[in-house]
Amino acid sequence: MADKEYHKQYRKEYSKKVKYLNVSIPVKTYKEMQDRADSEGVKVTSLLRNMAIAYMQQTTYIPKEIEDELKQLSLLIRNVANNVNQVAHHSNVMKGMVNENDLLAEIKKLDTMVHDYTLKKLRAYNDY
């Protein structure tokens, strides 16, 4: 009996924190969402919720495939930043200055390339 009361109380508290929405969409749209959800390894409802929240927060919903690629790019950029730090340290030890503006320009170029790449991938991903 205690288990039954616990679940009853849990559902009562949970209903105060969460609201359910029923959404009607055309079958064609549902199939497109189902294909995308399958490719990302999530349920359609989770995909729809994540997309709705991203839209509401005025952020970009990033699919898992692209998010994984961005993580790899971020790791590479951190490696580049570490190398720049090592060059700066070497420059300070040797008392010979490396032109840091050239290094910073390359990092800026890399940042721009990653940004452009990301937008291109998102446009291609959303182009259905």
* Average per-residue pLDDT for the chain: 82
pLDDT tens for each residue of 56-107: 888 777 777 778 888 888 888 888 878 777 877 777 777 666 666 777 787 7
Among 15-29, 34-48, 62-76, which stretch is predicted with the lowest mean pLDDT? 62-76
Q: Crossing angle for the helix pair 27-40 and 64-94, nearest 10 degrees?
A: 40
Q: Are 121 and 69 in contact (CB under 8 A)?
A: yes
For range 10-36, the mean pLDDT:
90
More confident residue, 42 or 126: 42
Kindly report whether the global pTM for this prediction surpasses the value 0.85: no
Residues 6+ apart with CB under 8 A from 121: 66, 69
Determine how many CB atoms are found less than 10 A away from the CB of residue 25.
12
Instruction: Using a pLDDT cut of 90, give the percent of the chain over it.
Output: 20
Provide the percentage of residues in the chain whose pLDDT is more than 70: 91
Cα separation, 61 vs 14, whole angstroms = 27
